[in-house]
Amino acid sequence: MSYRREDYIKVNEILAERRRAAEADAERRREEIYRKLPEIRRIDLDLSRTAAKVIDVIGRGPDAVRLGMAKIEAENLALQTRRAELLAGAGYPADYTEPRYSCEKCRDTGFIGSEECVCRRRELVMAGYESSGIGALLGKQTFESFSFRYNGDSPRIRLAYEQLKSYAESFSGNRDRSFLLVGATGLGKTHLSTAVAGVVIGRGFDVLYETAQNAVAAFEEWQFHRKNGDEDPTARYFECDLLILDDLGCEQKNDFSFSCIYNLINTRINRGKPMIISTNLAPADLRRFYDKRITSRLLGEFSVLVFEGRDVRAEKVRALE
């Protein structure tokens, strides 16, 4: 699995800041208690010397070590009991000076031993949502929220739904299939593409969702307006685990746009990196719009899913009238 490097960095910083905040707050509460109950400062100082006492005992014979360790344990227990009594007597819980981590399981480190904690996993998913380009839609356009009611339960749309849902749930990041979603506007192509993105991101993969227009604009900006030291904004189009390209055919008709689209599709095919491309153009229109280099890859290398039915957006508007 491979979220973006930037997402890992962001999540690690989030967890580190939580840990720092929890420990700083604990230090504030500890100083508060030391001012009110000076005896606790002395107890904590004695407890902090435990490691040195253990090291001193270890250098002795077996019987001395056993007796010495038992003595240290008894002394520490007595100190901890006295500490808890002092706090309780002043109206404080026994753990008042302990850090209050957001996740007590991993203490905001993100790991329990060598295992990744569920809290870190959750943050990575959220970072993946935000960096996908459709963070605001992911909670709304899911497989569960997709309705067949407005399109008359079209067999082709149901087939597309089932194939894309299975695809998302079994996505491996290793030469998965690519899909071309073909059909008029308002038939659910964007909804199902977003649903795929949500599931695949949730399973730990880097997904980028972009319109063809914006992708071409990014290539143009990089080609003609970049400055020394600028980071290539187009790199992720080639590197992400799954690229979802929406509204193919809405970009400008010119050689530069077609060259960008061809290079993007061809490079990802050669690298075994899947795409989901949606277009309002029928296959015949695609052949008229693009040259053979592009259409042969779209219609030959992609699994084509045809969306037919009534315009969902129009049906929803009519239902409100």
pLDDT, average across residues 54-72: 86
Do both 109 and 142 map to the same domain? no
Give the β-pairing of 179-183 and 115-116.
unpaired
How far is 78 from 308, CA to CA, in rounded Å? Answer: 77
Sign of CA dihedral 262, 263, 269, 275: negative
pLDDT at 321 (0 to 100): 46
- Who wins on pLDDT, 319 or 265? 265
Do both 109 and 241 map to the same domain? no
Do both 178 and 287 map to the same domain? yes
pLDDT at 16 over 90: yes
Percent of the chain with pLDDT over 90: 60
pLDDT tens digits, one per residue of 159-191: 999 999 999 999 998 899 999 999 988 889 999
- Who wins on pLDDT, 284 or 313? 284
Do both 62 and 196 map to the same domain? no
Name the nearest CA neighbour of 56 among 35, 40, 72, 42. 72
Report if residue 161 sits inside a domain: yes
pLDDT at 24 over 60: yes
pLDDT tens digits, one per residue of 213-233: 999 998 998 888 877 767 787
Q: Which of 114, 149, 165 is the last residue of a domain?
A: 114
Report if residue 120 sits inside a domain: no
Do both 177 and 288 map to the same domain? yes
CA distances from 294 to 159, 263, 266 (A): 26, 9, 8
pLDDT at 94 over 50: yes
pLDDT band, very low/low/confident/very high, at 313 (cuts 50, 70, 90): low
How far is 17 from 21, CA to CA, in rounded Å? Answer: 6
pLDDT band, very low/low/confident/very high, at 320 (cuts 50, 70, 90): very low
Q: Please give the model's pTM, rounded to 2 decimal places.
A: 0.69
How far is 117 from 102, CA to CA, in rounded Å? Answer: 12
- Computed over every residue of the chain, the mean pLDDT equals 89
> Which of the 8 DSSP states describes residue 242?
E
pLDDT band, very low/low/confident/very high, at 152 (cuts 50, 70, 90): low
pLDDT band, very low/low/confident/very high, at 196 (cuts 50, 70, 90): very high
pLDDT at 259 over 60: yes
**Angle at the Cα of 26 from the Cα atoms of 24 and 31, rounded to 5 degrees:** 95
Domain coverage including residue 178: 132-320
- Who wins on pLDDT, 99 or 124? 99
Angle in degrees, 0-180, between the axes of helices 62-89 and 38-48, rounded to the nearest 10: 160
> Which of the 8 DSSP states describes residue 117?
P
Do both 267 and 143 map to the same domain? yes
Do both 30 and 109 map to the same domain? yes
pLDDT at 310 over 70: no
- Residue 35 tokens, joined: 């001012």
> Which of the 8 DSSP states describes residue 2?
B
pLDDT, average across residues 311-317: 51
Do both 199 and 64 map to the same domain? no
Q: Which of 79, 114, 149 is the last residue of a domain?
A: 114
pLDDT at 312 (0 to 100): 56
Do both 203 and 312 map to the same domain? yes
Q: Which of 62, 83, 114 is the last residue of a domain?
A: 114
Number of domains the chain is built from? 2
pLDDT band, very low/low/confident/very high, at 263 (cuts 50, 70, 90): very high
pLDDT at 124 (0 to 100): 85
pLDDT at 77 (0 to 100): 95
Who's near 204: CB < 8 A, 6+ residues apart? Answer: 1, 2, 3, 121, 124, 125
Beta strands in 117-192 (DSSP E): 179-183
Report if residue 143 sits inside a domain: yes
Who's near 94: CB < 8 A, 6+ residues apart? Answer: 83, 84, 87, 88
Do both 269 and 178 map to the same domain? yes
Report if residue 8 sits inside a domain: no
pLDDT band, very low/low/confident/very high, at 89 (cuts 50, 70, 90): very high
pLDDT at 237 (0 to 100): 92
Do both 215 and 267 map to the same domain? yes
